[in-house]
Structure 1
Amino acid sequence: MGKGQTSDWVDLSSGDFTPAANTRHHLGNDDADDRGWSLTRTKLLWLSSLRLITMLVLVTASAILVGDTTGSILDTVQTTLMWVGLIAAVPSALYFPFLLTARSNRPLNIIAIMQMIQDAIFATTMITVTGGSGSAFTFFYSLNIVVAGIVLGRAGTLISIAISFLMLLGVAQFELGNFVMPSFLDGVLKRSSFNDVLYSVVLNSAAFAGIGVLSSYLAEQLRKSDIEREGYRTTLEDLKQLHESILASVETGIVSCRLDYRILHINRAAQSLLNLETVRVQGMHLFDVVPEFRAPMEREPAEDFELKSMSDGVEKWLRVSTSPLISKSGEMIGRIISVQNVTAIKQLQAKMKAEERLATLGKLSSVVAHEIRNPLAAMSASAQMIKMAGNLQPDDEQALEIVVREIDRLNEWITDLLYFARPKVGQIRDIDLRSVISNMISLLSSLVNLEGYEIVSLVEPGLFVKGDPDRMHRAFMNLTKNSLEAMSKGGVLKIISNTYIEDSQPWVDITFEDDGCGIPPEEIDRILDVFYTTKPRGTGLGLATVAQVAKEVQGHISVKSKPGVGTSFTIKMPLIEAN
């Protein structure tokens, strides 16, 4: 560090890393000055309010009493005080706009000195109309000195002493006859002997000095105390802000509660995870805000638990843990509840399990292809030869037909298994979705009796995706067959397209919508799992294959269903421009 340069590093040895410490480091005396003028303005506002109230009370009291003593000396005194109070009330009221707009010490000091002069004039008036330098109201000067010390410190005390001494000295000159007595003071201020006046002036001056010294000391101590208190308050506010900033910045949701589960604080992450952004929950009961927490948190002993919720149609998993909130004395005064979004972990676990199942399924399919399919082919051929030989009883012929049919069904299952476990992706090219769906409907019409069913294609022309046409055809065929089987008594199957832009990428949704029996809610989450089926003779591979094909084209499949109303399967795929 070069000579004459100052360091910008915070003093680490202090152990204070709060924003207040950094502010004090960078602002130094300026920060203390800011606090100083703010405290001075507050004091002046209070004193100005008290002064204005005093003037108004004086004017009101004088106005009420003045009529009862007409023509007497007391009447003159009361009239004088009323007018003095009325005149003094005007500048007292005018101080407020200047005080409220002041932003530095200089204008505040000028206002303070003006108020000191005004108070000294008022005190002088009170002394003059109540007997002169020997009046009991000379304590007003002492009061002004104390006030000046509180507002302006030692300098204010010295200025107030000087003003008070000069004012008292002026009253003494009138009493001694050195100044011409104004007409309105005739009969109010009497002439006094030199010794009496000197005694009063010296005694009051000594009192001014003594009170000034004491006031100066007390004012300095008060000023230091005010600055320290303001510093402590600022530090506490900064620590609170630092605490809230830390809680607001962490990704883990934090909720602090009392022992009765009344919410004390909730950070931004917890509001987002629990969908409480628009709700003010401080002071509310936790179980009223998040009812799902009640059952797992009331169990003994309390353990971590996981919850599944939906946010904007997207599944979300939360892990919730509870720990005690301990006071300094070691007493439990509440609970701290942390909420973590473990959706990504759940998805990763599900993906790993799926990959493990697929790996196992791949090995199994190889065994099936070699060890089961070949014997099935021999069995089917033998059954066909026996049937062709003739001379069979009707029961025997029917039994052979059952054997052949079941062998065909097993072969179809094995084909689906191999197709899923070891997919053979053909040539990747542009796929015209409308053409593939039209061809699929035509082929299905020639293979299956569609009497009582209606398949309506509402797919727009010119929609292309990149993928294997054969696998896309098979995925559409699986969805169509699945929908037709769900409509056991006939119905309408609609195949609908919907295009849109998402994150500057054009997408298409191909929806297969039927009016069949629907899927129970408890089965929706498993409907796309491998080998999961609700059909008596289903394989559980059809929809899993559809999900696999959707993933191959960088898309995904979603399911919506309502029992007794129908089901819709939607494949979301990115669109491309056809070559």
Structure 2
Amino acid sequence: MILAALCPHTGSPAANDHLKKQIQWLLFFRVLFLSLMLGISVLLQTKAPSIFLPPLHYLAYFIAGLYVFTILSALMVRIIQCYSRFGYMQITLDTLLVTLLVFSTGGSQSVFTVVYFFPIVMGAFMLFRPGSLLFAALSTLLFGSQLVVEYGGYASRFVQTYPSHLSSFQMLLHYFAIYSLTFFLVAILSSMLSTRLQRTEAELFQTASDYDRLSFLYKQIFDDINTGIITVDADSRVTSFNRAAELITGYRPGEILGRNLSQIFSGLEIPLRDDERRQMTALPRRDGETIPVGYSCARLNAPEDTENGYVFTLQDLSQIKKMEAQVQQAEKMATIGEMAAGIAHELRNPLAAISGAVQLLERETRDESINKRLFDIIMRESDRLDATIRDFLVFSKPVNPEKEWFSVLALAREALETLGQNPDWNSALRLDLEIPSDLNGWGDPQLIRQVLLNLVANSANACRTMENGRILLRAEEQSENAIVLEVIDNGIGIPEDLRERIFEPFFTTRETGTGLGLAIVRQIVHSHGGTISLRDAHPQATLFSVSLPLP
């Protein structure tokens, strides 16, 4: 804060840099201006002496001292931090040097009196109005002081042959008034010019900054937009080529710029009249592949005295075409699925009739008859086909869960009780529950029950050859956002190469399996916004983990 008060330009890098450059120009013009003036005066004086000049060796000393002082000042510019204070000091010393020069060359009669304008003008351009008025006042004070010295006859004490022409006080006032008014007039005019120049420079800087910002924004939009843009001149030569066009065509800008558009992309045509409709064409890429693109062409309305051109906007339609084909395929598969579901539903009625007729025939057949075994095969395969159709119908229907809060423990016990009533259930299989009594889940209870039935039945099948088969049904609240259900068995496990396929429809490793149980499980879990995963629990064991989100 204190440094900023003592040095106004401290803390403003742009102002400091600007003032530093002006100080460097001040040092340059000081040497150039005074050297030329003194040099020309000396040359003219040697041919026809007409003005008072001190001896040449004094002038040589003056110029040498001026050079040394300027060199030292230039070195100091690199290390100082307060350029405004340094500028005041330099211009003050310039004013003193001019006073010494004027006094040494005749005082009131010196031809170098106009050199006072130099520090005044430099003060205006470097320090604006306060600087110009300050150095106008300082110049007036110093010039008036040497007029008093000259009027009093004290100048001859310093220069014996001093040409004094101030013989009256009226003449002294005349010189003082004329030059002082001139100094302040120059100060006011130069400060006005410097202020206007400063304002113009600020506006120009702001305009240049706005232009640079707009240019950068245009370049960013031109390069980052995902629509290909190609501009051509009136002769169809490519003038610009953005990054999206490079990705679409495979060509680099250096390979395209300046070339005729029709020679590279014959499918892109300039319309005979203004037509804003988007057109399609097959565009050859650099790698030889031909892709479908949509494009439009518009005229570039350039300023006067400038040739008009055209702008092409391109869009790669390859992905859109693939998506259209996928949608068509999906619609086709959906139609086939509806037909398959209808056929499966219609098959259940004749299948039920066949099963019923076989049961009646079986009652009238003796146990030792060979037909008994045939009837058993028909019944078994009919039941298997009925189970497959039932699962297929469940899988083909959209799952719209009706969610509500339910007790996880009560639902697990209900599922295990249902499985225990199945005649094919292995009663020697051990079932354990590790579920907190106060754990509640959020979902459709009937659908979650179906998930538990299928997972436990799948684990029971894996343990059918185990002597001490065990299934653990575990649940816990993983966080405030989800609960996790785990079904763990110590069965034969699932081979690594089959794990990615077990959730695929109709994939099964059992002869009597439908291959839809785990597919239905995944469908139900995903409809609840959850996830299901499979991993090893321990050697020769499998763990299914189901995560269900909470509201």
TM-score, normalised to structure 1, is 0.51
Of 376, 381, 384, the match for 1:406: 381
Counterpart amino acid of residue 192 in structure 1: P
Of 362, 374, 381, the match for 2:359: 381
Partner of 1:512: 487
SS at 2:495 equivalent: coil
Partner of 2:514: 539
**Distance in 2 (alpha carbons) for counterparts of 1:96 and 1:565:** 79
**Distance in 2 (alpha carbons) for counterparts of 1:128 and 1:426:** 106
Of 453, 474, 489, the match for 2:450: 474
| CA pair 383-464 structure 1, distance change in 2 beyond 3 A | farther
Contact map agreement 2:426 2:464 (CA 8 A) in 1: no
Contact map agreement 1:259 1:333 (CA 8 A) in 2: no
| CA pair 229-427 structure 1, distance change in 2 beyond 3 A | closer
Partner of 1:498: 476
Does residue 300 of structure 1 match 2:275? Answer: no
Structure 1 unaligned blocks of 5 or more: 1-36, 56-71, 100-107, 263-295, 305-320
Shift of 1:139: 7.3
SS at 2:438 equivalent: coil
| CA pair 572-219 structure 1, distance change in 2 beyond 3 A | same
Partner of 1:462: 438
Partner of 2:165: 194
Contact map agreement 2:296 2:312 (CA 8 A) in 1: no
Partner of 2:346: 367
| CA pair 460-549 structure 1, distance change in 2 beyond 3 A | same
**Distance in 2 (alpha carbons) for counterparts of 1:220 and 1:450:** 103
**Distance in 1 (alpha carbons) for counterparts of 2:287 and 2:144:** 82
SS at 1:120 equivalent: helix
Shift of 1:178: 2.6
Q: What is the correspondence of 1:146-225 to structure 2 with a 5 Å cutoff? A: 146-151=121-126, 160=135, 163-164=138-139, 166-174=141-149, 176=150, 178=152, 180=154, 191-194=162-165, 219=194, 222-225=197-200
Contact map agreement 1:512 1:570 (CA 8 A) in 2: yes
SS at 1:147 equivalent: helix
Counterpart amino acid of residue 165 in structure 2: F
Contact map agreement 1:302 1:322 (CA 8 A) in 2: no
Counterpart amino acid of residue 362 in structure 2: Q
Contact map agreement 2:477 2:484 (CA 8 A) in 1: yes
| CA pair 377-97 structure 1, distance change in 2 beyond 3 A | same
SS at 2:95 equivalent: helix
Contact map agreement 1:130 1:189 (CA 8 A) in 2: no
Partner of 1:559: 533
**Distance in 2 (alpha carbons) for counterparts of 1:423 and 1:225:** 72
| CA pair 84-544 structure 1, distance change in 2 beyond 3 A | closer
Shift of 1:406: 0.7
**Distance in 2 (alpha carbons) for counterparts of 1:335 and 1:188:** 87
**Distance in 2 (alpha carbons) for counterparts of 1:218 and 1:424:** 82
- More displaced 10-residue stretch of structure 1: 353-362 or 326-335: 326-335
| CA pair 83-168 structure 1, distance change in 2 beyond 3 A | farther
Contact map agreement 2:525 2:532 (CA 8 A) in 1: no
Counterpart amino acid of residue 541 in structure 1: L
SS at 2:484 equivalent: strand
TM-score, normalised to structure 2, is 0.53
Does residue 392 of structure 1 match 2:369? Answer: yes
CA RMSD of aligned residues (A): 6.7
SS at 2:482 equivalent: strand
Q: What is the correspondence of 1:109-148 to structure 2 with a 5 Å cutoff? A: 117=92, 119-125=94-100, 141-148=116-123
Counterpart amino acid of residue 436 in structure 2: E
Contact map agreement 1:432 1:465 (CA 8 A) in 2: yes
**Distance in 2 (alpha carbons) for counterparts of 1:40 and 1:466:** 67
| CA pair 236-430 structure 1, distance change in 2 beyond 3 A | closer
| CA pair 51-218 structure 1, distance change in 2 beyond 3 A | closer
Counterpart amino acid of residue 191 in structure 1: Y
**Distance in 2 (alpha carbons) for counterparts of 1:260 and 1:441:** 63
| CA pair 458-87 structure 1, distance change in 2 beyond 3 A | same
**Distance in 1 (alpha carbons) for counterparts of 2:109 and 2:520:** 111
Counterpart amino acid of residue 459 in structure 1: I
| CA pair 202-192 structure 1, distance change in 2 beyond 3 A | farther
| CA pair 467-211 structure 1, distance change in 2 beyond 3 A | closer
Of 199, 203, 213, the match for 1:228: 203
Counterpart amino acid of residue 198 in structure 2: R
SS at 2:475 equivalent: strand
**Distance in 2 (alpha carbons) for counterparts of 1:430 and 1:39:** 67
Contact map agreement 2:291 2:316 (CA 8 A) in 1: no
Shift of 1:499: 1.0
Shift of 1:523: 4.3
**Distance in 1 (alpha carbons) for counterparts of 2:162 and 2:313:** 78
Tell me the alpha carbon deviations over residues 169-211 of structure 1, each in whole angstroms, 9 at most, x when there is no partner.
544544x353746xxx96579622329999x999999997998
Shift of 1:408: 1.7
Counterpart amino acid of residue 383 in structure 2: D
| CA pair 114-430 structure 1, distance change in 2 beyond 3 A | closer
Larger of the two Rg values belongs to structure:
2
Contact map agreement 1:81 1:126 (CA 8 A) in 2: no
Tell me the alpha carbon deviations over residues 463-489 of structure 1, each in whole angstroms, 9 at most, x when there is no partner.
223666555333212122334556898
Shift of 1:433: 2.0
Structure 2 unaligned blocks of 5 or more: 1-11, 31-56, 229-241, 251-284, 303-307
**Distance in 2 (alpha carbons) for counterparts of 1:88 and 1:178:** 36
**Distance in 2 (alpha carbons) for counterparts of 1:441 and 1:518:** 29
Tell me the alpha carbon deviations over residues 204-242 of structure 1, each in whole angstroms, 9 at most, x when there is no partner.
999979987996786466335413312303423664797
Overall identity of the aligned pairs, in %? 20
Counterpart amino acid of residue 167 in structure 1: L
**Distance in 1 (alpha carbons) for counterparts of 2:286 and 2:546:** 39
Counterpart amino acid of residue 499 in structure 1: E
Counterpart amino acid of residue 400 in structure 1: F
SS at 1:194 equivalent: coil
Tell me the alpha carbon deviations over residues 337-382 of structure 1, each in whole angstroms, 9 at most, x when there is no partner.
99x9xxxx9xx9999999878866664454233x333323234315
Contact map agreement 1:561 1:567 (CA 8 A) in 2: yes
Contact map agreement 2:486 2:545 (CA 8 A) in 1: yes
Contact map agreement 1:77 1:129 (CA 8 A) in 2: no
SS at 1:572 equivalent: strand
Shift of 1:516: 2.1
**Distance in 1 (alpha carbons) for counterparts of 2:208 and 2:183:** 36
Tell me the alpha carbon deviations over residues 221-269 of structure 1, each in whole angstroms, 9 at most, x when there is no partner.
633541331230342366479779999xx9x98997488779xxxxxxx
Shift of 1:569: 4.2
Shift of 1:409: 0.8
